[in-house]
């Protein structure tokens, strides 16, 4: 038995798969619940005669659902703190230098001990790791999701229609391009400058309705149409993106964004990552679009888009799933690299890469390099 076959059998063993699922599940829980695992606000408290959840209020205010509220800690009758009673960017007034996990710490009790130490600003390392997990998962999942959507869309169209198969209404093309340009601007601008969940969703919904109405009320049969060389356009864009070093693309887009934000990193990684999905989907569609079952679907009168989404896409999606996991890990590593270099996310947000960058300037603080590096 070759070494490759032996390795494959070991990876496919039930025990290894079970351990991998548990590890992924733990990271997902930590990332999704990071605000309630590490926070300096109580999970539950009695404040001014009523029971409330300051941590939940703070979380909802961060995503723009409710207004922010300032709590006076002296008015808490009782409170239940999170497992880690520190937020990622909370400065400890008692600790103004980096303290190791084995050093003596000036804390009121073991409940408030910094179990993995602090950085040079007194911020808790364990809280930073938890918050960094949230950032890593957010960047990895969202950037790959957007890359996958764009790559699937362009890969399906370019592989199925080629350069002469997709005829589009000239008026719909011109007006649709204008609507998409305005939509992208008004959708992305508030995210970059002042992120707001409902503002983003409302604008996305409005732009989608306008586009659907456009193609509904301007039928191609009554207006002049042209053959759009979608395959040529897609392949040339991919060639251009692949010919430019990734670092140059990142620096170019970072220069466009005036305000650092995690959404900037997500958008940049999405732009960099979609070509790999588009190439794979295009290759799969080129292999199957002339097969007998596709020709049979055409002969019974199914539309092109029915054939694409009911027959072509299910066969192409299997290959896409296999590279999605690698794309997520690559996006997380790229975000950590940008944070390590001080690019992308705001400096006041703690991530795995920013913690490693702190270790670079403080060689004696081994815990700043060990725990985030793991």
Same domain, 348 and 265: yes
Within 10 angstroms of residue 369's Cβ, the number of other Cβ atoms is: 16
Conformational region of residue 362, where left means phi above 0, alpha means psi within -120 to 50, and beta covers everything else: beta
pTM: 0.78
**Helix H or strand E encompassing 1:** none
Chunked in runs of 10, what are the mean pLDDT values of the chain (374 residues)? 50 72 90 91 86 86 79 83 88 71 82 87 89 92 91 87 71 65 60 49 54 50 63 89 87 79 86 91 86 81 80 82 87 87 79 85 82 80
Is 181 within the bounds of a domain? yes
Same domain, 294 and 335: yes
Same domain, 259 and 174: no
Q: Domain residues for 186? A: 167-227
**CATH code of 302's domain:** 1.10.3720.10
Same domain, 134 and 273: yes
pLDDT tens for 33-60 read 998 999 988 999 888 888 888 888 888 8
Same domain, 371 and 245: yes
- Dihedral sign computed on CA atoms, order 358, 362, 367, 373: positive
Which DSSP symbol is given to 111?
G
Find tokens 């029971």 and name the residue.
51
Same domain, 261 and 155: yes
266-286 per-residue burial string, b: 16 or more CB within 10 A, e: under 16: bbbbbbbbbbbbbbbbbebbe
Same domain, 261 and 219: no
């Amino acid at each position: 038995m070759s070494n490759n076959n032996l390795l494959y059998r070991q990876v496919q063993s039930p025990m290894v798969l079970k351990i991998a699922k548990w590890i992924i599940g733990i990271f997902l829980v930590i990332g999704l619940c990071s605000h309630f695992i590490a926070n300096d606000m109580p999970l539950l408290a009695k404040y001014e005669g009523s029971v409330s959840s300051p941590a939940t209020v703070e979380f909802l205010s961060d995503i723009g659902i409710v207004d922010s509220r300032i709590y006076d800690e002296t008015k808490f009758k009782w409170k239940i703190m999170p497992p880690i009673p520190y937020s990622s960017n909370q400065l400890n007034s008692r600790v103004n230098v980096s303290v190791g996990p084995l050093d003596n710490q000036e804390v009121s009790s073991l409940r408030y001990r910094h179990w993995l130490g602090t950085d040079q600003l007194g911020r808790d390392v364990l809280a930073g790791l938890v918050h960094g997990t949230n950032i890593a998962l957010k960047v990895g999942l969202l950037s790959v999701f957007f890359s996958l959507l764009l790559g699937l869309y362009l890969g399906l169209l370019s592989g199925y229609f080629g350069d002469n198969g997709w005829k589009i209404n000239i008026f719909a093309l011109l007006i649709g391009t204008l609507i998409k340009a305005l939509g992208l601007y008004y959708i992305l601008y508030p995210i970059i400058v002042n992120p707001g969940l409902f503002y983003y969703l409302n604008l996305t919904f409005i732009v989608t309705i306008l586009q659907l109405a456009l193609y509904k009320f301007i039928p191609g049969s009554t207006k002049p149409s042209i053959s759009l060389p979608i395959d040529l356009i897609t392949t040339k864009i991919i060639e251009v993106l692949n010919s430019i070093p990734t670092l140059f693309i990142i620096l170019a887009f970072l220069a466009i964004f005036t305000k650092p934000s995690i959404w900037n990193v997500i958008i940049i990684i999405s732009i960099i990552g979609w070509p790999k999905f588009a190439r794979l989907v295009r290759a799969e569609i080129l292999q199957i679009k002339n097969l007998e079952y596709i020709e049979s679907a055409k002969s019974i009168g199914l539309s092109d888009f029915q054939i694409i989404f009911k027959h072509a896409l299910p066969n192409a999606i299997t290959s896409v799933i296999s590279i999605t996991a690698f794309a997520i890990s690559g996006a997380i590593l790229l975000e950590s690299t940008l944070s390590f270099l001080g690019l992308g996310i705001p400096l006041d947000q703690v991530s795995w890469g920013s913690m490693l960058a702190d270790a670079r300037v403080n060689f004696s603080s081994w815990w700043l390099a060990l725990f985030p590096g793991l």
